[in-house]
């Protein structure tokens, strides 16, 4: 098994996992997934950090491709970009599949002895 195989598309997926590794950003993703497009003001009201902190988290998430925004008046409305979450899900499914295969190989080996 090679770690250089392109099937994981690590370059595209790593920023997503890095962005999701922060509790506040994860909360924002969960909120946006449930509530749909929301303004920065609405997102700030639903987490325990300042508007400036929310804006910083949203920039990180935007750079990772997790969210996009459009201006409505003086505020930005943010929404989830499902393609990046789908790519992260594919990575997790591949890891899970490989883990299941490894467990099966171990089971076979133990039963043969």
Residue 15's closest CA among 79, 60, 53, 56? 60
Give the pLDDT of the chain (113 residues) as one tens digit per residue: 445 555 556 677 888 999 999 999 999 999 999 999 999 999 999 898 999 999 999 999 999 999 999 999 989 999 999 988 888 888 888 888 888 788 888 888 888 87
Q: For the chain, list the domains and their CATH numbers.
A: 11-112 (1.10.10.10)
Task: State whether the Cα torsion 24-25-30-35 is positive or negative.
Answer: positive
> What number of H helices and E strands is found in the chain?
5, 3
β-strand partners of 69: 78
The whole-model pTM stands at 0.75
61 within 8 A of 50, measured Cβ to Cβ: no
């Amino acid at each position: 098994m090679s770690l250089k195989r392109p099937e994981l598309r690590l370059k595209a997926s790593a920023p997503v996992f890095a962005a999701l590794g922060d509790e506040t950003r994860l909360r924002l993703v969960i909120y946006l997934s449930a509530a749909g497009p929301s303004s920065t003001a609405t997102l700030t009201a639903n987490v325990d950090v300042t508007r400036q902190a929310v804006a910083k988290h949203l920039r990180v998430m935007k750079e990772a491709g997790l969210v996009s925004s459009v201006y409505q008046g003086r505020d930005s409305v943010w929404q989830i970009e499902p393609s990046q979450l789908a790519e992260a899900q594919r990575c997790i499914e591949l890891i899970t599949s490989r883990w299941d295969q490894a467990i099966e190989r171990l089971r076979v080996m133990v039963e043969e002895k």
